[in-house]
Amino acid sequence: MNEKIKCVLLIDDDEPTNYINEIILKRTGYVDKIVTVQSGMAALEYLKSVDENENPRPELIFLDINMPGISGWDFLEEYKKLPPHQKAKNVVVMLTKSINLDDDEKSKTYQEISEYRSKPLTQDKISDIIEKHFSNK
């Protein structure tokens, strides 16, 4: 990968998880900017405010399923309604602690979801995602 990913959006209601994921992403050296939010609503607000300077459009989104307010599934229903310029350029990865096999099956019904991965996020998982989805960068 020659170019860095310009922006990654982390959506998880657990602040320590976002913090750890941010550190892991920074250590990879693959990412220019990391935006963390603790709710699906905050993520939608961010996506609606994208611009080329302060709020760059994410190329990669990591989305938790189980969050208070609107779940990851609810977020996806609203996300589908956004115009293309407000959506992630490439990849949405559902990142979850859920052991419910139905969640994995449900994720396959969303064309917006590129991958379904279990927590925790690791450098190996990030490298694998980068290789699969960003190898042309």
pLDDT at 2: 62
Contacts with 1 (C-beta within 8 Å, 6 or more apart), sequence order? 30, 130, 134, 135, 137
What are the structural domain ranges in the chain?
A: 21-100+110-132
Give me the residues of the chain with pLDDT under 50, please: none
Radius of gyration (C-alpha) of the chain in whole angstroms? 14
What pLDDT was estimated at residue 26? 95
CATH superfamily of 21-100+110-132: Response regulator (3.40.50.2300)
